[in-house]
Structure 1
């Protein structure tokens, strides 16, 4: 499966996130080697991050300085994105932060509920249905309460970290809340991400094929592809499989963003 040159990975972390060691220059050089016209980084914004036990912010002063230096040395467009870890108790602070800055694309995620990160073992010691339904309720809250975002990232993120495999019947049992989430995405004209990291965790691309089929059956067509790369060599990993998956449900275009304006790329 050929990956189009104009298809840009819209979920990439650089060393401006605390969980990545890949520099912005390394990402630029890698994208050039792939023949890409642009890159976008989507580093983390997360207040009271339970994983890192602190607020996670991008050092924008250093970021802008480095971007200016790189633009002088490389024929590459560098787009500015961000991944927002939503919590309802920080909604106003998040919106204020986003309103003060300009972005090309904003991802929306749910990583913790104010008590536990959804990757923590203590969370996954809970019964599977309690875990999944609680997590999806957090996602529904994020999608509903936020307006200033473009893409809903890794919708079934919680399944990456389960102690035991999650079966399709576990996903199906969450149909009512998943229906609400997908209808909100469509009604608010947001974009559903296919996040390929899942291939290398639980064996499927986020979201689970059952969820993607539900989205398409509800009339959803707007999708994005992101690798969720935290090291340079993982950029675009699994993209061939993601394109094949989209073809299987009749989707042959993906949505990309520049200056928050959507445009379509054929796949």
Structure 2
């Protein structure tokens, strides 16, 4: 199993040590994990930066890579919470260190946190529109990433009295995002973290089907684990689903280069 998106205490939203994540991956007989800790610039009206210290991160990463050499492949990455107006900072950060895998994500929309604000302040249809418009704007202007994380991440945070609209009502917003990925050779992440809140992984099947219809082939597997128990969560059944949908490969990234892994 190849988990290209996990977190450690270098992220603001978990206190789990890198080594504890490595040990869990080993216990589950995984082949590869990639730490992709959070990087967020210009968050909220106060424009707060949430960034890990690259020097400390790579010092710990290299210690673990040496200690566990021959047992499991440990890769270094980052999850960039892109926002229009902050992209130059992300360019500088992505170029600042020898990352294996850089993930693009949308966590904030127009100074609103997707987790707690966007779907509480706007009707679902409007929140969806703003979310995908900002995503497209970022991906049209920013290219130093390898995969797009949890494309329909916003689905996790709709409320019973403001539910997510049906996919067909906003398909036209998702299609150009997928087109940018395909044209630029970027991967679409399959993130089983969705199953912790929803009955499906990200992306939902409708988006995966659209991606395949448009000629998309590049997929990465991700648990988005913030604790050891979630590493490789539901990978076997999710990979089986992908194969049944006609996908032949998932990909791992190392030194910013992609390597195909045949789905079996």
TM-score, with length taken from structure 2: 0.92
Q: Does 1:149 align with 2:107?
A: no
Q: Classify 1:131/1:110 alpha carbon distance in 2 versus 1 (closer, same or farther; 3 Å).
A: same
Distance 1:60 1:41 in 2: 13
Match of 1:101 in 2: 97
Residue 120 of structure 1 and its aligned partner are, at CA, apart by 1.3
Match of 2:239 in 1: 243
Contact kept? 1:13, 1:43, Cα under 8 Å: yes
How do 1:250-261 residues align onto structure 2 when only pairs under 5 Å count?
250-261=246-257
Distance 1:243 1:16 in 2: 29
Give the aligned CA root-mean-square deviation in angstroms.
2.0
Q: Classify 1:214/1:72 alpha carbon distance in 2 versus 1 (closer, same or farther; 3 Å).
A: closer
Residue 51 of structure 1 and its aligned partner are, at CA, apart by 11
Distance 1:216 1:52 in 2: 40
Residue 133 of structure 1 and its aligned partner are, at CA, apart by 1.2
- Count of residue correspondences: 260
Residue 194 of structure 1 aligns to a residue in which SS? strand
Contact kept? 1:143, 1:152, Cα under 8 Å: no
Shifted more, 72-81 versus 20-29: the winner is: 72-81
Match of 2:51 in 1: 57
Distance 1:175 1:92 in 2: 30
Contact kept? 1:194, 1:206, Cα under 8 Å: yes
Contact kept? 2:119, 2:157, Cα under 8 Å: no
Residue 144 of structure 2 aligns to a residue in which SS? coil
Residue 148 of structure 1 and its aligned partner are, at CA, apart by 0.5
Distance 2:147 2:58 in 1: 23
Q: Does 1:178 align with 2:178?
A: no
Residue 10 of structure 1 aligns to a residue in which SS? strand
Match of 1:47 in 2: 41
Q: Classify 1:15/1:51 alpha carbon distance in 2 versus 1 (closer, same or farther; 3 Å).
A: farther
Contact kept? 1:108, 1:142, Cα under 8 Å: no
Residue 69 of structure 1 and its aligned partner are, at CA, apart by 2.9
Distance 1:245 1:234 in 2: 19
Residue 204 of structure 1 and its aligned partner are, at CA, apart by 1.1
Q: Structure 1: any 5+ residue segments left out of the alignment? A: 1-6
Contact kept? 2:217, 2:247, Cα under 8 Å: yes
Q: Classify 1:236/1:52 alpha carbon distance in 2 versus 1 (closer, same or farther; 3 Å).
A: farther
Match of 1:11 in 2: 5
TM-score, with length taken from structure 1: 0.91
Match of 1:4 in 2: none
Of residues 127, 135, 142, the one that matches 1:139 is 135
Residue 47 of structure 1 aligns to a residue in which SS? strand
Residue 130 of structure 1 and its aligned partner are, at CA, apart by 0.5
Contact kept? 2:36, 2:78, Cα under 8 Å: yes
After superposition, the C-alpha distances for 1:49-81 in whole angstroms (9 at most, x for unaligned) are 349983111122222222333344323432111
Shifted more, 53-62 versus 89-98: the winner is: 53-62
Contact kept? 2:119, 2:159, Cα under 8 Å: no
